[in-house]
Chains A and B, each alone.
Chain A
Amino acid sequence: MNILVCIKQVPDMESRFKVNGTGDWYDEADLAYRMNEYDEYAVEQAVQLKEQLGNQPEITVLSIGADRVGEALKKALAMGCDKAVQVQDNDSARKDPWQIANIIAAFASDKNFDVIFTGMQSQDRGSAQVGVTVAEILGHNCASTLVGFEYADGVVTAKRELEGGVKSVVKVPVPALVTCQLGLNVPRYPTLPNIMKAKKKELQLVPVSSLLKEEAATGTAKLYPPVKSGGGIVLEGDLGDVADRLLGILKEKTTVMK
């Protein structure tokens, strides 16, 4: 069996984001980057599948971006992936989901991956398009938003998360692509020996120009901080004082304190 995991490196979402000079993306300077949280679940599930199958399958982990994505790839290797591919693209933030999906599909098209794992969405862009679009381009079966994954005899039994706590169960024959939701599993921490081993694993560099043949299907007009509604009261200062003022407001403006 042959497994592919697609990961993205994103800024820590607790960061303060500033709009860049051209007004079409956030300023990437001074941000701390990490593996997209959804993709950690994808990596973990791929490694668990490999373990289930007696460590026979080979797992390739792929990321698109500037050289800094090597850090995310190294983490995936330390978690148990076998080899890494960096699609070199210093301008990946300006590619739209259609182009990103086409880059991945172009890479995967001649490699006979049986199962492809992606996160359900990225934390920064959040389009939830890339995984499903890759499956569509490759003609693979696909199930999105997984909170449960089982594999037996060429069929993935997937539990998809719907709204309001409801789940649906589907069976998907391979080759299949699944997108992973938070809570699917418990992503492992790389151990020190595995971090050391990861340093020796293969990192393949592929220029984006060799894979991307598609124009963007959407474009960003403008990026900006949310417009504040301005109606809210802001309280800050001494804790006791803040608590008193808050309770005063609740007495005045709600019925719950009576």
Chain B
Amino acid sequence: MKALLVCEQREGKLLDTSYELVAFAERLGAEVSLVLVGKQAQAPQVAGKLYLADVDKYGEYSPELHKHIVLAAALKENPDYIIFPHSSYGWDLAPRVAATLRVGQVSEIVNIVDGQLEVSLCNGKLRRTVSPKGARAVLTVQAGAFNYAGQKSGAPQVEEIEISQGSSALQFVGYEPAEKKEVDLGRAEIIVSAGRGVGKKENVGVIADLAKAFGGELGASRPVVDAGWVGHSHQVGTTGQTVSPKLYVACGISGAIQHLAGMKKSDFIVAINKDKDAPISEAADVMVVADVLQLAPVLAEKLRAA
């Protein structure tokens, strides 16, 4: 089985998701080749052939040109799978490649079960195995689902790749950096996060108070940030911050896969939720089945008294 891995770089830096693709391909038992729109200095340090297209020539974000580069590499390698990270880059590009090749796509793979591709459904409440029907397929792999345990010291055999398509109707203007941070969750030892289950903005204070009693920082899941209850710098997850504190307390968070990907490397995870079977329970070391708005003040009081 052969896999072509579509690596991702941004502003001169190879993203770690590229290595996660290598880990996923290893689990599949596939022979690997890679493709990157970037520079040789950003090449993933793994063995295999790397098709490299010059980012200065083809652009940081130019889906039409990047699509043709991936297709050109696929034409040379004839892979069974063309694999992308399930990221803003991958989910934008993968369907373009799949549609052009008229092959099936399986998105956001979280596991391989008995050789089958497993994906998540309904915010992680269900799982299913999906099989592509043709000989070839496009896949995207969930961030954080496959960890690369190998040494980052191999050297790929680089082959430069060029395409004849020269321009793109879509014009990349530039990046906008993340907003200035009110809080740096990446350095926090204890994070107490509020989820949609806290109900309304006024209740976030109860969770903030618990965070204070623990001597930690306040985190939040995406819906809480989108609703404007707290600022974006508190957001934990793939579109917020990826964190790994010594203690993570998830309050009223059901555990959408994007949130889990951002916090599951925490040393110890406590989830407080009324629903014992919420997907967060999978990641939790301790699952407290309770109304967090009732439990949090009791817990904060005991912490202060201790």
Contacts of A32 in B (CB 8 A): none
**Is residue A191 contacting chain B, with contact meaning CB distance below 8 A?**
no
Q: Is A98 in contact with chain B by the CB < 8 A criterion?
A: yes
Smallest Cβ-Cβ distance to B143: which chain A residue: A163
Q: With A142-B63, A164-B239 as given contacts, are A239 and B268 in contact (CB-CB < 8 Å)?
A: no
A26-B122, A226-B279 known, 5 other contacts, Cβ within 8 Å: A166-B177, A169-B172, A169-B175, A236-B289, A256-B214
Q: Which of A168-198 contact B (CB under 8 A)?
A: 168-173, 182-183
A167 within 8 A of B: yes
Cβ–Cβ < 8 Å partners of B247 in chain A: 250, 254, 256
Q: Which of A54-62, A72-80, A214-222 contacts the other chain?
A: A214-222
Whether B150 sits at the interface, judged by CB under 8 Å, is no
**Known contacts A165-B240, A220-B129, A232-B286; A171 and B171 CB within 8 A of each other:** yes
Q: Complex formed: what's the CA distance from A162 to B105 in Å? A: 21
| Bound complex: CA A232 to CA B278 (Å) | 13
Contact present for B122 and A17 (CB under 8 Å): yes
Task: Check A183–B226 contact: CB distance below 8 A.
Answer: yes
| A234 close to B (CB within 8 Å) | yes
Type the 1/0 row for A147-172, where 1 means its CB is closer than 8 Å to any CB of B. 00000000001011111111111111
Tell me, in angstroms, the Cα distance from A114 to B303 when the chains sit together: 59
User: Are B134 and A225 in contact (CB-based, < 8 A)?
Assistant: no
Q: Are B175 and A253 in contact (CB under 8 A)?
A: no
Residues of chain B within 8 A (CB-CB) of A162 are 10, 87-89, 175
The interface-forming segment of B19-27, B31-39, B42-50, B94-102 is B94-102
Residues of B with C-beta under 8 A to A14? 254
The answer for the CA separation of A234 and B134 in the assembled complex, in Å, is: 44
- Which B residues contact A (CB, under 8 angstroms)? 10, 61, 63, 86-89, 91-92, 94-96, 98-100, 102-108, 116, 119-134, 137, 143, 169-179, 189-190, 214-215, 222-223, 225-226, 232-233, 235, 238-242, 246-247, 254, 267-268, 270, 276-277, 279, 281-282, 284-290, 294-295, 298-299, 302-303, 306
Segment of A42-50, A122-130, A200-208 engaged in the interface with chain B: A122-130
B90's closest neighbor in chain A, by CB? A128
Interface residues of A in 220-247 (CB under 8 A from B): 220-229, 231-236, 239-240, 242-244, 246-247
Q: Smallest Cβ distance from B207 to chain A, in angstroms?
A: 15
**Contact-residue size bin, chain A (C-beta under 8 Å from the other chain):** 35 or more
- A165-B179, A168-B176, A236-B289 known; A243-B302 Cβ under 8 A: yes
Would B104 and A13 count as touching, CB distance under 8 A? no
Q: When A219-B133, A236-B288 are in contact, do A163 and B238 touch as well, CB less than 8 Å?
A: yes
Whether B286 contacts A242 by the Cβ 8 Å rule is no
Q: From the candidates A163, A170, A182, A218, name the one contacting B171 in the complex (CB within 8 A).
A: A170
| Residues of chain A whose beta carbon lies under 8 Å from any beta carbon of chain B | 11, 13-14, 16-17, 19, 24, 26, 96-98, 101, 121, 123-129, 132-133, 136-137, 141-145, 157, 159-173, 182-183, 215-229, 231-236, 239-240, 242-244, 246-247, 249-250, 253-257
Q: Please, could you name 14 A-B residue pairs with CB atoms under 8 Å apart, sorted by A?
A: A11-B122, A13-B122, A98-B98, A124-B121, A127-B105, A143-B170, A145-B92, A162-B88, A166-B176, A222-B116, A233-B285, A234-B287, A254-B247, A256-B215
The CA-CA distance from A218 to B100 in the complex, in Å, is 16
- State A97–B10 Cα separation when bound (angstroms): 28
With A164-B239, A167-B176, A231-B285 known as contacts, the answer to whether A224 contacts B127 (CB < 8 A) is yes
Total number of residue pairs linking A and B with CB closer than 8 Å: 262
Chain A interface, DSSP helix/strand/loop, else mixed: mixed
Assuming the A-B contacts A249-B286, A254-B268, are A136 and B125 also in contact, with contact meaning beta carbons closer than 8 angstroms in the complex?
no
Task: Verify A170–B290 contact, CB threshold 8 A.
Answer: no
- Bound state CA distance, A224 and B96, in angstroms? 30
> Are the CB atoms of B226 and A182 closer together than 8 Å?
yes
Contact B240 A133 (CB under 8 A): no
A168–B189 CB distance below 8 A: no
Nearest chain-A residue to B128 (Cβ)? A223
Q: Nearest Cβ in chain B — how far from A12, in angstroms?
A: 10
Q: Are A246 and B100 in contact (CB under 8 A)?
A: no
Known: A162-B88, A226-B127, A235-B288. A243 touches B298 (CB 8 A): yes
Name A214's closest neighbour in chain B (CB-CB): B102
A82 to B14, CA, bound (A): 46
A residues within 8 A CB of B288? 235-236, 242, 246
CB within 8 A of A239: which of B116, B214, B270, B294? B294
